[in-house]
Amino acid sequence: MRKRNMKDWLKGKGFYISLMVGAICVVAIAAVCLDSFGINKSMSDEDKRNNIARLDGENQDDSIIDNSDVEKNARDFYDRISGENDNSSNMPTQAEATPVPEDATDTASVDGNKEDGKKDKKSDSKKTPKKSKKNEENKDSKSDTSDKKVTVMKTGEKVNSLKFDQEAGISWPVTGDILMKYSAGNTVYHKTLGQYKSNPALVISASEGANVSSAVDSVVTEIGKNEEIGNYIETSIGDGYKIIYGQLDNIQVKKGATLKEGELIGAIAAPTKYYIEEGSNLYMKMTCDNEPVDPMIFLK
C-alpha cells in the first residue's frame, strides 16, 4: 500500500520533485566534500540552512506547488548529514594527531646555532686579516721608527761623522773649582758618604741654576735620570769618546740633537742625597769605548 502511494506521488509531481531532490543531493554532497577538506568549516549551520531555504524557495517559485512534505524530508536528510559532518569535524587532523618529538626543536635550534656559529666564524675570518694587516703595518712603522732612532742616536751618520780632536781638547762646561778629582784606580774621600771610594768622574763646584754648556761638538745619544747623579745627558763626541753631564736641571736639548761647542744644554740642579755635603756641582764623566778616562787630560 505504501509503495503504491509513493508511485502515485511520484507520478503526480514527477519532474519537479526529481529536479529538487537532485539539487539537494548535489548541495549535500558538496557540503560533505567541503567539510572533509576543512574549506567549509567557517560556514555556520544557520548559513547552510539559509542556503537550503533559498534553493527551496527558488524551486517553489518554479514549480508553484506545495512541497512541504518534500521540504521536511530534505531537512531531515540535511540534519542527518550535518550530524555526520559535526562528528567528522571533531576528528583530529593529521597535524594535530601526529605528535612532534621534543628533540626536533632542540635539533633545529642546535643546527641553527651551528649555522650561526659557522657564519660568525666566516665573518670573523674575513675580518681578522684586515686587523692583522693593520697590526703588521703598525709593527712595520714602529720598527722603521725604532731603526731610524737607533741609526741616528747610536750608529747614524751624525755620530759616525764626528771626529774628536784630542790635541784641540775640550772646554769647561761650567766655571768652578774641582771638588773631587778623577780617581778610577785610587780612592778619594766622599764627605756625604763618609767613606773612601773610587771616583770615575770630575765633580766641579757650581752654583745652583748656573748654565751648563757643551764642552765640544757632539750628538746627544741619551737623556735620563739616575739616583746618584740626578738628571743627566750623554753625548757622543766621535772616535768612541763620550761625555756624560750629571746633576742637571732645565735640560734644553733632546735626544738626537747635534750640539756645537759652547751651546747651552741645561742648568745646575740641587745636589742629590749623595752630594749633600759637597754642595751643588756638575758631575762630568768621560769615557773611551765605554772605559772611563780622566777629563783633565783634555780640558783646555
Q: List, as one string, the DSSP characters of 234-284.
A: EEEEETTEEEEEEEEES----TT-EE-TT-EEEEEPPP-GGGTTT-SEEEE
DSSP per residue over the chain, as a string?
-HHHHHHHHHHHHHHHHHHHHHHHHHHHHHHHHHHHTTSSTTS-HHHHHHHHHHHHHHHHHHH-S--HHHHHHHHHHHHHHHHHHHHHHTSPPHHHHSPPPHHHHHHHHHHHHHHHHHHHHHHHHHHHHHHHHHHHHHHHHHHHHHHHHHHHHTSSHHHHT----TTT-B--SS---EEE--EEEEEEEETTTTEEEEE-SEEEE--TT-EEE-SSSEEEEEEEEETTTEEEEEEEEETTEEEEEEEEES----TT-EE-TT-EEEEEPPP-GGGTTT-SEEEEEEEETTEEE-GGGTB-
Closest CA relative to residue 299, chosen from 189, 173, 180: 173
| Structural domain contains residue 168 | no
289 part of a folded domain? yes
Confidence of residue 45 (pLDDT cuts 50, 70, 90): low
Q: How many domains does the chain have?
A: 2
Predicted pLDDT of residue 254: 96
Instruction: Residue 166: name the closest of 241, 219, 221 by CA.
Output: 241
- Residue 184 has φ and ψ, to the nearest 5°, of -75, -35
152 band by pLDDT with thresholds 50, 70 and 90? very low
Asked if the structure places residue 276 within a domain, the reply is yes
Instruction: Say how far apart CA 211 and CA 173 lie, in whole Å.
Output: 8
Residue 70 has pLDDT above 60, yes or no: no
Grid cell in block for residue 77: 536528510
* 212 assigned to some structural domain: yes
Q: What is the pLDDT of residues 84-110, one digit of tens each?
A: 545 444 444 444 444 444 444 444 444
Cell reading at 240: 768612541
Structural domain for 52, as ranges: 2-94
Tell me the average pLDDT across 146-159.
Answer: 49
| Residue 118 domain flag | no
Mean pLDDT of 15-30: 78
Boundary-marking domain end, from 79, 94, 109: 94
**Domain end point (choices 26, 60, 94):** 94
Angle CA 206–208–209, to nearest 5:
110
The residue among 65, 94, 123 that closes a domain is 94
- The residue among 230 and 157 whose pLDDT is bigger is 230
Nearest to 229 by CA among 207, 214, 244: 244
Domain of 278: which CATH number?
2.70.70.10
How far from chain centre, in Å, is Cα 113?
Answer: 22
* 20-34, 186-200, 208-222: the lowest-pLDDT one: 20-34
In a domain, 42, yes or no: yes
CA 153 to chain centre: 37
For 178-195, write each residue's pLDDT tens digit. 999 999 888 999 999 999
Tell me what pLDDT residue 30 has: 78
* The residue to which cell 778619594 is assigned: 188
pLDDT reported for residue 276: 95
- Mean pLDDT over each residue of the chain, to the nearest integer: 74
- Per-residue confidence band for 145, with pLDDT thresholds at 50, 70 and 90: very low
Q: How confident is the model at residue 58 (pLDDT cuts 50, 70, 90)?
A: low
CA dist 246 → 12, 105, 242 (Å) = 141, 78, 13
- Whether residue 84 is contained in a domain is answered as yes
When mean pLDDT is compared across 147-151, 249-253, 281-285, the lowest value belongs to 147-151
User: Which three cell numbers mark 199?
Assistant: 771616583
In the predicted model, what is the mean pLDDT of residues 160-177? 93
Q: How confident is the model at residue 17 (pLDDT cuts 50, 70, 90)?
A: confident
* Confidence label for 22 from pLDDT (cuts 50, 70 and 90): confident
Asked if residue 87 and residue 189 are part of one domain, the reply reads no
Does residue 163 sit within a domain?
A: no
